[in-house]
Amino acid sequence: MATIDNARSRYSRVAIGLHWLIGLAVIVNICLAMLTEGLPRDFHRAAMNAHKALGMAILALTLIRILWRLVNKAPPPPETMRAWERRASRFAHFLFYVLLILLPLSGWVWMSAADRPIDFFGLFAIPSIVGPDKQVADVLHERHEMLGLTMLALVVLHIAAALKHQFIDRDRLLSRMNPF
Protein backbone atom coordinates (compact mmCIF):
# COMPACT_ATOMS: atom_id res chain seq x y z
CA MET A 1 0.00 0.00 0.00
CA ALA A 2 1.45 3.33 -1.07
CA THR A 3 1.09 6.31 1.21
CA ILE A 4 1.29 10.01 0.63
CA ASP A 5 3.08 11.78 3.45
CA ASN A 6 5.23 14.71 2.43
CA ALA A 7 4.01 18.27 1.85
CA ARG A 8 4.89 18.15 -1.88
CA SER A 9 2.33 15.40 -2.34
CA ARG A 10 -0.54 17.65 -1.22
CA TYR A 11 -2.22 20.52 -2.98
CA SER A 12 -1.86 23.97 -1.42
CA ARG A 13 -4.52 25.17 1.03
CA VAL A 14 -5.74 27.68 -1.57
CA ALA A 15 -6.10 24.94 -4.22
CA ILE A 16 -7.87 22.66 -1.72
CA GLY A 17 -10.24 25.43 -0.68
CA LEU A 18 -11.05 26.34 -4.27
CA HIS A 19 -11.53 22.64 -5.18
CA TRP A 20 -14.11 22.05 -2.45
CA LEU A 21 -15.82 25.43 -2.88
CA ILE A 22 -16.19 24.99 -6.63
CA GLY A 23 -17.17 21.33 -6.23
CA LEU A 24 -19.88 22.12 -3.70
CA ALA A 25 -21.15 25.03 -5.82
CA VAL A 26 -21.34 22.79 -8.91
CA ILE A 27 -23.30 20.11 -7.03
CA VAL A 28 -25.69 22.70 -5.57
CA ASN A 29 -26.15 24.23 -9.03
CA ILE A 30 -26.90 20.85 -10.61
CA CYS A 31 -29.48 20.24 -7.87
CA LEU A 32 -31.03 23.68 -8.35
CA ALA A 33 -31.36 23.07 -12.09
CA MET A 34 -32.66 19.51 -11.92
CA LEU A 35 -34.66 19.26 -8.71
CA THR A 36 -36.72 22.44 -8.97
CA GLU A 37 -38.42 21.57 -12.27
CA GLY A 38 -42.16 21.24 -11.78
CA LEU A 39 -42.20 23.09 -8.45
CA PRO A 40 -44.38 26.17 -7.93
CA ARG A 41 -43.42 29.03 -10.24
CA ASP A 42 -42.19 31.42 -7.51
CA PHE A 43 -39.98 28.75 -5.92
CA HIS A 44 -38.64 27.69 -9.31
CA ARG A 45 -37.90 31.31 -10.27
CA ALA A 46 -36.02 31.93 -6.99
CA ALA A 47 -34.04 28.71 -7.46
CA MET A 48 -33.13 29.66 -11.02
CA ASN A 49 -32.04 33.14 -9.92
CA ALA A 50 -29.74 31.48 -7.35
CA HIS A 51 -28.59 29.01 -10.05
CA LYS A 52 -27.61 31.84 -12.40
CA ALA A 53 -25.79 33.85 -9.73
CA LEU A 54 -24.00 30.76 -8.47
CA GLY A 55 -22.98 29.91 -12.04
CA MET A 56 -21.32 33.31 -12.38
CA ALA A 57 -19.57 32.79 -9.03
CA ILE A 58 -18.34 29.40 -10.28
CA LEU A 59 -16.93 31.09 -13.39
CA ALA A 60 -15.04 33.66 -11.28
CA LEU A 61 -13.73 31.02 -8.86
CA THR A 62 -12.65 28.82 -11.77
CA LEU A 63 -10.66 31.64 -13.33
CA ILE A 64 -8.97 32.21 -9.97
CA ARG A 65 -8.30 28.45 -9.70
CA ILE A 66 -6.74 28.36 -13.17
CA LEU A 67 -4.49 31.33 -12.37
CA TRP A 68 -3.48 29.68 -9.09
CA ARG A 69 -2.74 26.42 -10.90
CA LEU A 70 -0.53 28.18 -13.46
CA VAL A 71 1.66 29.48 -10.64
CA ASN A 72 1.37 26.49 -8.26
CA LYS A 73 1.85 23.14 -9.94
CA ALA A 74 -0.13 20.09 -8.87
CA PRO A 75 1.65 17.43 -6.84
CA PRO A 76 2.67 14.35 -8.80
CA PRO A 77 0.26 11.40 -8.76
CA PRO A 78 1.15 8.40 -6.60
CA GLU A 79 3.71 6.08 -8.17
CA THR A 80 1.17 3.26 -7.89
CA MET A 81 -1.17 4.92 -10.42
CA ARG A 82 -1.20 3.10 -13.74
CA ALA A 83 -0.33 5.01 -16.91
CA TRP A 84 -3.92 4.83 -18.23
CA GLU A 85 -5.22 6.22 -14.91
CA ARG A 86 -2.82 9.16 -15.15
CA ARG A 87 -3.97 9.89 -18.71
CA ALA A 88 -7.63 9.53 -17.72
CA SER A 89 -7.10 11.83 -14.74
CA ARG A 90 -5.40 14.51 -16.85
CA PHE A 91 -8.21 14.33 -19.43
CA ALA A 92 -10.95 14.45 -16.78
CA HIS A 93 -9.38 17.46 -15.07
CA PHE A 94 -8.96 19.24 -18.42
CA LEU A 95 -12.62 18.50 -19.20
CA PHE A 96 -13.64 19.85 -15.78
CA TYR A 97 -11.90 23.16 -16.50
CA VAL A 98 -13.50 23.37 -19.95
CA LEU A 99 -16.96 22.70 -18.52
CA LEU A 100 -16.42 25.04 -15.56
CA ILE A 101 -15.88 27.83 -18.09
CA LEU A 102 -18.29 26.82 -20.88
CA LEU A 103 -21.28 26.07 -18.64
CA PRO A 104 -21.47 29.52 -17.02
CA LEU A 105 -20.57 31.25 -20.28
CA SER A 106 -23.30 29.39 -22.16
CA GLY A 107 -25.80 30.30 -19.44
CA TRP A 108 -24.67 33.93 -19.55
CA VAL A 109 -25.04 34.12 -23.34
CA TRP A 110 -28.39 32.30 -23.13
CA MET A 111 -29.77 34.72 -20.52
CA SER A 112 -28.40 37.69 -22.46
CA ALA A 113 -29.99 36.49 -25.71
CA ALA A 114 -33.25 35.78 -23.85
CA ASP A 115 -33.12 39.35 -22.47
CA ARG A 116 -33.20 38.05 -18.89
CA PRO A 117 -30.58 39.85 -16.78
CA ILE A 118 -28.60 37.89 -14.21
CA ASP A 119 -28.98 39.30 -10.70
CA PHE A 120 -25.86 38.45 -8.67
CA PHE A 121 -27.42 37.61 -5.29
CA GLY A 122 -29.16 41.00 -5.10
CA LEU A 123 -25.84 42.86 -5.19
CA PHE A 124 -25.73 43.92 -8.84
CA ALA A 125 -26.86 42.88 -12.31
CA ILE A 126 -24.40 41.08 -14.57
CA PRO A 127 -24.34 42.95 -17.89
CA SER A 128 -25.56 41.18 -21.01
CA ILE A 129 -22.88 40.05 -23.43
CA VAL A 130 -25.11 39.68 -26.51
CA GLY A 131 -28.25 41.42 -27.64
CA PRO A 132 -31.69 39.82 -27.47
CA ASP A 133 -32.03 37.03 -30.05
CA LYS A 134 -34.61 34.25 -29.61
CA GLN A 135 -32.85 31.88 -32.00
CA VAL A 136 -29.54 32.22 -30.14
CA ALA A 137 -31.34 31.84 -26.81
CA ASP A 138 -33.01 28.60 -27.95
CA VAL A 139 -29.73 27.10 -29.20
CA LEU A 140 -27.84 28.12 -26.05
CA HIS A 141 -30.60 26.69 -23.84
CA GLU A 142 -30.10 23.27 -25.44
CA ARG A 143 -26.30 23.53 -25.32
CA HIS A 144 -26.34 24.62 -21.67
CA GLU A 145 -28.47 21.64 -20.67
CA MET A 146 -26.21 19.25 -22.62
CA LEU A 147 -23.12 20.71 -20.93
CA GLY A 148 -24.86 20.41 -17.56
CA LEU A 149 -25.58 16.71 -18.09
CA THR A 150 -21.96 16.21 -19.15
CA MET A 151 -20.84 17.94 -15.95
CA LEU A 152 -23.12 15.70 -13.89
CA ALA A 153 -21.63 12.59 -15.49
CA LEU A 154 -18.09 13.89 -14.92
CA VAL A 155 -18.82 14.69 -11.26
CA VAL A 156 -20.15 11.16 -10.71
CA LEU A 157 -17.09 9.70 -12.45
CA HIS A 158 -14.72 11.91 -10.40
CA ILE A 159 -16.31 10.87 -7.11
CA ALA A 160 -16.29 7.19 -8.13
CA ALA A 161 -12.60 7.38 -9.09
CA ALA A 162 -11.72 9.09 -5.80
CA LEU A 163 -13.59 6.42 -3.83
CA LYS A 164 -11.87 3.66 -5.84
CA HIS A 165 -8.48 5.10 -4.95
CA GLN A 166 -9.45 5.40 -1.29
CA PHE A 167 -11.15 2.06 -0.70
CA ILE A 168 -9.88 -0.32 -3.38
CA ASP A 169 -6.38 0.91 -4.23
CA ARG A 170 -5.84 2.32 -0.72
CA ASP A 171 -3.23 4.71 -2.10
CA ARG A 172 -4.44 7.64 0.07
CA LEU A 173 -4.95 9.79 -3.03
CA LEU A 174 -7.79 11.61 -1.26
CA SER A 175 -5.35 12.94 1.34
CA ARG A 176 -4.00 15.29 -1.36
CA MET A 177 -7.29 17.23 -1.27
CA ASN A 178 -8.21 16.72 2.40
CA PRO A 179 -8.91 20.16 3.86
CA PHE A 180 -8.23 18.97 7.42
Structural domain includes residue 126: yes
How many separate domains does the chain show? 1
**Can you say how many angstroms the Cα of residue 92 is from the centroid of all Cα atoms in its chain?**
12
Region at 64 (left for phi over 0; alpha for psi -120 to 50; beta for the rest): alpha
| Residue 34: CB atoms within 10 Å | 12
- Domain of 77, CATH number, reads 1.20.950.20
Structural domain includes residue 36: yes
- In tens digits, the chain (180 residues) has pLDDT values of 344 444 478 999 999 999 999 999 999 999 999 999 889 999 999 999 999 999 999 999 999 999 999 999 999 988 889 999 999 999 999 999 999 999 999 999 999 999 999 999 999 999 999 999 999 999 999 999 999 999 999 999 999 999 999 999 999 888 999 998
Q: pLDDT averaged over the chain?
A: 94
